[in-house]
Amino acid sequence: MTPANLADTVLSAARAVFETRGLDVGALPATTTVERPRNPEHGDYASTLALQLGKKVGVAPRELATALAEELGRRDGVKSVEIAGPGFLNIRLDAAAAGVLARDIVLAGSAYGRTERLAGERVNLEFVSANPTGPVHIGGVRWAAVGDALSRVLRTAGADVGTEYYFNDAGSQIDRFARSLLAAAKGEAAPEDGYGGAYIAEIAADVVKAEPEVLSQDPEAAQETFRRVGVDLMFAEIKKSLTEFGVHFDTYFNEKDLHDRGELQEALDRLREQGHIFESDGATWLRTTDFGDDKDRVLRKSDGDWTYFAADCAYYLDKRKRGFERVVIMLGADHHGYIGRMKAMAACFGDDPAKNLEILIGQMVNLVREGEPVRMSKRAGTVVTLEDFVEALGVDATRYALARYSSDSPIDIDIDLWTRASRENPVYYVQYVAARTASAARQAEALGVTRGEPGDFRADLLDNEKDNELLKTLGEYPETVAFAAEHREPHHVARLLEKIAGAYHRFYDEPACRITPKNADDPVTDGHRARLWLNDATRTVIANGLALLGVSAPERM
């Protein structure tokens, strides 16, 4: 019995109680959940349904709880129901009912954890979105890890997700990049407002290699060559490092396309139809203050040029036209000032800014060595890059370290901690469970312990406290993934994996919970076989969870 099954059972028991007592069945919620009490004395699961409904239907919560407890206690798999406090229902399950979860998980395999919670939702997830003027740096790295994990979490919860990387290879930043390349190729110092760092010289040299005649072109043509070829090389490098990091995007969207297709004008027209456009000082403005922004925003400057914000509007409209009703944009903390205007812009289009546009803000990340933030990159000069991260920690530890914290928290990633092979390092702690379950399974195979047919599985033998704790923790997985998806917070998945890891290690250390006989000549029992199911179920959940985070689940360590 999964927590979701139990919750359904609680709800159906409540319906039965309501019917026999003539209470308003309409007051019942469509779904309910059970939670795991902190205090083990409070049973395996607790329901607060009586508490929530008592007032609604005019029955004392305690009285309602009593009737509910009696009805629920008659259901299959429910061992006991106690009433506590103002009307909590503390539920205990039969060992057999709890234990079948191990088999269910193994049989579900990689599908365990999937739900329909977000079924039918089309979500566009935009993250990283760095312009091709340099390597992906520290803020982008956080979003690469968190955004990619979130996309997988959303899909697992049933959403239809498109991931997207937005870039611009035409603006003034790119001109600075091109001038910097040209200067580097000529052996001159970087321009005043240009880009520094060794990578500029590397890219410049690569451009010269690809276009040997470039330096004999006139300066304007040369700069254009450096721009065109340099952007290609830089972007290829960004994609390569993201690919090595395990991150790929469904769509790489170039701002230029918005201009070429006239989408900025289209967005302006649309906003004008909605009545939020005005002209002032020769410029064209969007009256975002109608929807809570601090000030109105210019879309088209008095010199006729479009603003960056105008492109943002067009891009948003483009995503909406592609059928995404949830546009999610992940930005660094330094961009949080955009939230107001972006939300207002969505409202100006006639959308619901609370539903159609979500802006997630990621706080700062520091890579720390010996207590001091690492500030400089070998290649990029002033910033720490994705390569620096991977070089220092490896892909698994980098992804896990970044995905295990709430994006709201500024974090310091300590190189020494995250490369340590011990309990202190969460990624090793979790990965060790993957290795340990695999090792235990190999050992079982060598000693002739097999799970046997699903029908022969003896769930009732998983009656040790450690079995029960591990089962309950594994049972939390689908709800945790769904919760993480709804809240756009993949770190909950990592935290649950750590909890599962703890429960597994304690199970493993319990002499009563052995998967194989202690001595080679001892007989193999149904208990060993039942625990092999539980061992394999754990491996399944750990592997599924790590896959959501883009981290490997090694068979051996």
Question: Which residues have C-beta within 8 Å of that of residue 351, sequence separation ≥ 6?
Answer: 320, 357
Q: How far is the CB of 112 from RNA (least distance, A)?
A: 22
Q: Which residue's CB is nearer to RNA, number 218 or number 308?
A: 308
Report how far apart, in Å, the C-alpha atoms of 272 and of each of 264, 268, 529 are: 12, 6, 70
Q: Which residue's CB is nearer to RNA, number 208 or number 468?
A: 468
Q: Which residue's CB is nearer to RNA, number 172 or number 216?
A: 172
Q: How far is the CB of 358 from RNA (least distance, A)?
A: 12
Distance CA 111, CA 252 (A): 29
Distance CA 355, CA 351 (A): 8
Q: Which residue's CB is nearer to RNA, number 80 or number 217?
A: 80
Question: Count of H helices and E strands in the chain?
Answer: 21, 14
Q: How far is the CB of 313 from RNA (least distance, A)?
A: 12
Q: How far is the CB of 361 from RNA (least distance, A)?
A: 6
Report how far apart, in Å, the C-alpha atoms of 353 and of each of 291, 333, 344, 347, 357 are: 10, 20, 7, 6, 5
Q: Which residue's CB is nearer to RNA, number 99 or number 206?
A: 99
Q: How far is the CB of 487 from RNA (least distance, A)?
A: 8
Q: Which two tokens stand for residue 514?
A: 């052995």
Task: Judge contact between 414 and 63, C-beta under 8 A.
Answer: no
DSSP for 391-429, please give it.
HHH-HHHHHHHHHSS-TTS-EEEEHHHHT--STTSHHHH
Query: If you ran DSSP here, which 8-state letter would residue 551 be given?
Result: -
Q: How far is the CB of 258 from RNA (least distance, A)?
A: 12
DSSP for 110-129, please give it.
GGTT---TTTT-EEEEE---
Q: Which residue's CB is nearer to RNA, number 53 or number 159?
A: 53
The two beta strands, 283-286 and 277-280, are antiparallel
Q: Which residue's CB is nearer to RNA, number 47 or number 206?
A: 47
Question: Which residues have C-beta within 8 Å of that of residue 149, sequence separation ≥ 6?
Answer: 399, 403, 490, 493, 548, 549, 550
Q: How far is the CB of 216 from RNA (least distance, A)?
A: 30
Distance CA 345, CA 266 (A): 14
Distance CA 37, CA 458 (A): 27
Q: Which residue's CB is nearer to RNA, number 217 or number 265?
A: 265
Task: Judge contact between 198 and 204, C-beta under 8 A.
Answer: no
Q: Which residue's CB is nearer to RNA, number 98 or number 298?
A: 298
Q: What are the two backbone dihedrals, phi and then psi, of residue 329, each rounded to the nearest 5 degrees? A: -125, 130
Q: Which residue's CB is nearer to RNA, number 208 or number 553?
A: 553
Q: How far is the CB of 510 from RNA (least distance, A)?
A: 7
Q: Which residue's CB is nearer to RNA, number 138 or number 515?
A: 515
> Coil, strand or helix: which one is 277?
strand
Q: How far is the CB of 44 from RNA (least distance, A)?
A: 10
Q: How far is the CB of 284 from RNA (least distance, A)?
A: 9
The Cα diameter of the chain in Å comes to 92
Q: Which amino acid is at 384?
A: V
Q: How far is the CB of 111 from RNA (least distance, A)?
A: 25
Q: Which two tokens stand for residue 326?
A: 């949830």
Q: Determine whether 259 is exposed, middle or buried from the number of CB atoms within 10 Å of its CB (0-12, 13-18, 19+).
A: middle
- Residue of 235, 32, 211, 40 lying closest to 132 (CA atoms): 235
Task: Judge contact between 224 and 178, C-beta under 8 A.
Answer: yes
